[in-house]
Amino acid sequence: MSTDLPTIELSTGALIPQLGLGVWQADEADTEHAVRYAIGTAGYRHIDTAAAYGNEAAVGRGVAASGVARSDVFVTTKLWNADHGHARALGAVDASLERLGLDHVDLYLIHWPLQNTERLVETWQALIEIQQAGKATSIGVSNFQPHHLTTIIEATGQAPAVNQVELHPRLAQHELRTFCADAGIAVEAWSPLGGSGAGWGADSKPNTLLTDPAITRVAQRHGRSPAQVIIRWHLQNGIIVIPKSVHDERIAQNIDVLDFDLDADDLAAIDALDTGERVGAHPDDLNLAAPD
Ligand code: NDP
């Protein structure tokens, strides 16, 4: 069991464990078990859920049953698209906290920017108030392009602490990472292993990253799994990484990555996979569930 996970200091001063467990597409029973096992047995201290995943209540039960103090676990949830707008956002965080059975989350994210800029600014303003009210220690965004970030920062003077985006060796997001670094925004990778094969939107593709020969060659050299090699690539690049699994063996395997290093040749071989290919929707294309 690992408890000395690396952390990243957010702009709020809060520390986020650099490796967490994602629970998208996990049903209630699987989620509760996975969260309890991840925290209580495997050593995770960071869970990533969202209102849209329909499993916040199970996350709350798993955290409570883990035997680890709430204050030692970093919980993220996200505001769903239908809840954009000032009043809706204020109601949405209360509903999420109620389902989670928590009085605050460590990180509250706007799940997608959508395409109404005026409303987006209102939503971000609501998150600032949510943070001020102590309902979220840190606030951030997900799937924001530089133009979305510029819009909300210029309108409110407050930058998000985190931007969670699709990011893996085939979509290394160098330009966005540089923009975020300059603005003091930590970058978090979704679909870090290349996804489950059933992602958002029309661009969803099966996972072929875990079997890519460049990855399996490095994995063989280290006597590790392809998933472990990809997770090390994220960690060594300073990215927050939240691989999803509902299987104990994989949950344990994905955190058993703190005792080996990829060398410069390994990193270069993986960096060469960056074709810009997405497994999920492009942020500027998706307007799913947007309010009227
Ligand atoms: P991942 O890249 O984490 O891949 C998950 C898939 O890989 C699952 O099918 C899982 O299967 C499998 N897997 C996990 N570990 C291993 C392993 N060691 N060996 C082989 N296969 C493995 O994809 P996700 O899309 O789930 O992304 C991770 C998290 O990011 C999500 O759960 C969610 O929290 C977040 N996310 C956020 C989005 C956003 O818009 N903000 C969008 C998408 C994801 P199994 O479970 O059966 O083990």
Cα–Cα distance for residue pair 143/282, rounded to 1 Å: 8
Question: What is the model's pLDDT at position 127?
Answer: 98
Question: What is the model's pLDDT at position 203?
Answer: 58
Q: Over the stretch 131-159, which tens digit does the pLDDT of each residue have?
A: 999 999 999 999 999 999 999 999 999 99
Which residue's CA is the nearest one to ligand 1's atom 6? 196
8 A C-beta contact, residue 106 and residue 80? no
Residue ranges and CATH numbers for the domains of the chain are 7-195+240-245 (3.20.20.100)
**Residue 1 pLDDT exceeds 50:** no
Q: Over the stretch 211-235, which tens digit does the pLDDT of each residue have?
A: 999 999 999 999 999 999 999 999 9
Is residue 76 in contact with ligand 1, taking CB distance under 6 Å? no
Is residue 142 in contact with ligand 1, taking CB distance under 6 Å? yes
Question: What is the model's pLDDT at position 289?
Answer: 86
Q: Over the stretch 103-124, which tens digit does the pLDDT of each residue have?
A: 999 999 999 999 999 999 999 9
* Closest to 194 in 3D by CA, of 222, 163, 216, 176: 216
Q: Over the stretch 244-274, which tens digit does the pLDDT of each residue have?
A: 999 999 999 999 999 999 999 999 999 999 9
Confidence of residue 2 (pLDDT cuts 50, 70, 90): very low
Q: Which atom of ligand 1 is found nearest the CA of 189? A: 30
Pocket residue to mutate for ligand 1, from 208, 239, 245, most atoms within 8 A of Cβ? 245
The region of weakest confidence among 37-41, 68-72, 202-206 is 202-206
**Residue 24 pLDDT exceeds 90:** yes
Q: Which atom of ligand 1 is found nearest the CA of 197? A: 9
Which residue's CA is the nearest one to ligand 1's atom 34? 22
CA angle 130, 132, 137 (to 5 degrees): 75
Q: Which atom of ligand 1 is found nearest the CA of 50? A: 34
Question: Does the active-site annotation cover 37?
Answer: no
Question: What is the model's pLDDT at position 64?
Answer: 98
Q: Report pTM.
A: 0.97
List the catalytic residue out of 37, 44, 53, 108.
Answer: 53
